[in-house]
Structure 1
């Protein structure tokens, strides 16, 4: 990609490691992606009744198989994670990968993960409250050798995390958020911010309306950063594609992708994430066109605004 616009991918964990799974991660590195992420779900949408593997073991295997590719979750949530155990997994992942892990983290949705542990679904307010406490405690767990904490939802009793992350002071957080409270968390704790656009526009909106909504989100992030005394340019802005009214049309050709990526770079985004093709799914793009986009589009994209 250009110096200011990075191209990354999501590899869904539906393949057995020795039957296509490992190859997908190796190919992502060969193609030159900036990063490859995977979803951190127990199951997801149409994949619920089929194969689906865990994010942490998958990323550990990918870390051992690759050398340069950044790796991460897109995204982890409090739905079935606890900060204490997650911190230990992340420190281990960062060590195995040699400091190549990014934690994508969000409040979580209302899908299967929300009730898989037998709990009742949380209200939107409780979900936001839990997310705020989760991120703050996780930040401490990844930066302090020992943490004792008693909160409303989470606690830690002399939780030890020596030697800490390979990346200092900790591995980067990419905070997924669209509302005011989430954006404040991104401004305070995030090295990056992640969005999929405005979900209300997915079914009936237009690409133009979507870009306008994304521009408003970028502006809101700027205000949150200003309130936190932080330069918004220091926060990378990540667009996870496939959930805007464009659907997967940007992946139909190199020209379509260059147009899509360029328009979103103009809004301030400096990382575009596309899904590695999955047959018979919402991400069933042509593998040949997909690889052509990855190898040819970077040379056709002009530099966008600086990410700081």
Structure 2
């Protein structure tokens, strides 16, 4: 084989340059990346102008990233890559609560709150009681399960998107189950919101005729000793964006009927049981 790259031998020529002493997993991943990337370029017969647009897009995507914004994660999300990686890495047993995308707005160190406490601190939105059980696949309660929860506010923004406007830790909290495996907390009935669309990813979506909206959801990170961690959402049944979520995060098993109750302490109730698979 020639040491020089040609259209016909491009994949083999590039991959042959990798030394056999390189990490085997790295060689496999990079070899496959080169193979598929070159095949894509040949399939669409990419023009020099289009390649220039691609380089400019990636450059601008990197330039807009910062401490509070990760445009490359957003790009991964809207291309379905995040959900595909999630699906491959979380092949749970049937009956276990499915996972979905983590999202960019989780914050470490949220306050641990008493069971039943309210996580909404800005006084906006319709209060909702989120409650249910954490069990194993056999229906046994899981004691000491940690539920890290977070959501947008009634204006469709997370607290980290509006520092100085929303109270710190607004719509966030950590709860731990007792012997009965039950959890309960009050938040707001979440609303649909658009992902940040003022950057390169948003412009790409617009060019493709795609909208940037996510259906209303509450985030959960559920963990317990001896069990596999679950990162997931619960989605509001009937939301108009369930079948067109911009980041492809919806699964049937995660759609919840929010019940209107209008008691003295809340307007809505969202029952949902988490079923964990043993590690």
Alignment TM-score > 0.5, same fold? no
With normalisation by structure 2, the TM-score equals 0.23
Bigger Rg over Cα: 2
- Structure 1 or 2: larger helix share? 1
Work out which structure has the larger RCO, using CA pairs closer than 8 Å and 6 or more positions apart in sequence: 2
TM-score (norm 1): 0.22
